[in-house]
Amino acid sequence: MTSRSPTSWARALYSAVTWAAQPLLRRKLLRRAEAEPVYAEHIPERFGRYQPATLGQDGRGRWIWIHAVSLGETRAAAILLTALRERLPGMRLLLTHGTATGRTEGRRLLQPGDLQVWQPWDTPAVVRRFVQQFRPAVGVLMETEVWPNLVAICREEGVPLALANARLSDKSLGQALRVAPLARPTYTALAAVWAQTEDDARRLRLLGAPVRGVLGNLKFDARPDAALLERARQWKSGLSRPVVLLASSREGEEAMLLPALRTLGPAGRAVQWLVVPRHPQRFDEVAALLAGGGLHVSRRSQWVGGPPCGAAADDIDIWLGDSLGEMALYYGLADATLMGGSFAPLGGQNLIEALACDCPVVLGPHTFNFSEASDLACEAGAALRAPDMEHGLRLAVDLAGDRQSHAHAVAQARGFLDQHRGAAQATAQAVAGLLQSLA
């Protein structure tokens, strides 16, 4: 009788847990579908069961598979996909997601002949059904989405799997090291890893990842939606006050906003406030919270022809951006942005889209998910950092109300973005190189 290695036991135990959790996953999806109906769509796909329309037999062995779990990763994938289609004309895209926002955003990226399905639940049987069904030529995981069975079975089945736009925070590294018998073989089994920064590369190598290059952050190559920016410009021309935005706010941050607003006094009424929650299932919750704090709220979903302006705006304290796919519109309306996720200890959201829309950014103290981009932006004068929400509001109000400071921050942001572009073409070339090495 042979003994099994700690690595084998770790993956076997993990597989048993994920197998046992399948009924819980089904219940969770149905609960989430009450707020986001997309979660109830095509649930069998999560378990490797596909409808005839999505079997994709004619693409077997030719799919370029991209996995973008949620909204942010899907937006990064969109940038990479544009460069890939230029380099690989006629490519067939297989696009997978784990969240409703990711799948909704991903639909916009599909062309005739492409397929979109849910990410397979990470049990050996489900992943193997997925891989054997589609037989991708190559798989590209976006940013952080490394799953033990997904990686292991792709390797067993001869599907090279790369991690693109890869990032790993110190916190995530510590968590991975605590389960090293599971994490190390998973990262080691990847075919290639292309990191955003040297610090990300160093942390990834500590887990055994085959880092093949530091290519930068794809999101620097993003180009804001010109139509949304033009609509923002038109709407902004009818406003009497500058706009300060709390963008992609996360749990707890709107509650921080309410007392901080009260401390501003008359200065707080000199600007128009706008809050855009990160997750759509929180829109109603945030609206109720703001109204319960004594604020008069106007919701984007109820606007007709634009935001309230003139006399109609006098009684409105705060706008709520309760729509999807319009961040460029909100950034275009704003004269300064407080970056959500950075005032609560959640690691922050990416500031690059705001800067690309010429919207100066104020960061809170918690930016560990995007530490290098945040630090470099602050060093370049493209962003400011505040120790807490109250100080952040004061900085944002000053930026929005001072034309000279605002213009300087915009100029610094443009220079900062120009300096860091190029990851999309470099990553597309790396993916094409990986494909060529298999030919």
Q: 45, 73, 105, 143: which one is catalytic? A: 73
Integer Cα distance of 85 and 88 in angstroms: 5
The answer to whether 350 touches 374, Cβ cutoff 8 Å, is no
Sheet holding 272-277, edge to edge: 297-299, 318-320, 272-277, 243-249, 336-339, 361-363, 383-385
73 is catalytic: yes
Tokens 């292309």 locate to 194
Secondary structure tally for the chain: helices H, strands E? 18, 14
DSSP string covering 98-137:
SSHHHHHHHGGG--TT-EEEEPPPSSHHHHHHHHHHH--S
Q: HSE on the CB side for 56, CA within 13 Å?
A: 27
Which helix H or strand E contains 344, and what residues bound it?
none
The answer to whether 192 touches 163, Cβ cutoff 8 Å, is yes
**By three-state DSSP, how is residue 249 classified?**
strand
Integer Cα distance of 110 and 102 in angstroms: 13
The answer to whether 358 touches 340, Cβ cutoff 8 Å, is no
The answer to whether 243 touches 335, Cβ cutoff 8 Å, is yes
The answer to whether 137 touches 62, Cβ cutoff 8 Å, is yes
Sheet holding 211-214, edge to edge: 115-118, 92-97, 63-67, 138-142, 161-166, 192-195, 211-214
Give 52's DSSP letter. Answer: G
The token pair at 97 is 């997601």
Beta-strand (E) ranges in 381-421?
A: 383-385
Q: HSE on the CB side for 300, CA within 13 Å?
A: 20
Residues labelled catalytic: 73
